[in-house]
Structure 1
């Protein structure tokens, strides 16, 4: 490993040329990768509506929505 480092330090032009060529190859590879402005990614969405006539908002949230959302949340094992 030490000889590789010493060789790179002794041949600074070669090392810089290698660096520039690697950067240009990386840019060319990045340009070659197909990219899409608005990709079609399916995001799962669930809309749930709970209604209970005659109950206050705080009561409905505390008694119905909060326990239900805790039971549907993904478990952190």
Structure 2
């Protein structure tokens, strides 16, 4: 069985894959519309949820998602 087939089997057996859509802050991909497109692509490919960093990015995503938010102390 190929690595991809084993990964797909594992995802199905364990309830689904959560995909992280978190660009490096300040990078060319750090734009809410790009994060939303990445999240939509992940959901279209079968992800059960996406992990998003930042409130502005989260607001653009309609897929089941959860947000990571970090405070600097």
TM-score by length of 2: 0.29
Point out the structure with the larger helix share. Answer: 1
Higher Rg:
1
Point out the structure with the larger strand share. Answer: 2
Higher relative contact order (CA 8 A, sep 6+): 2
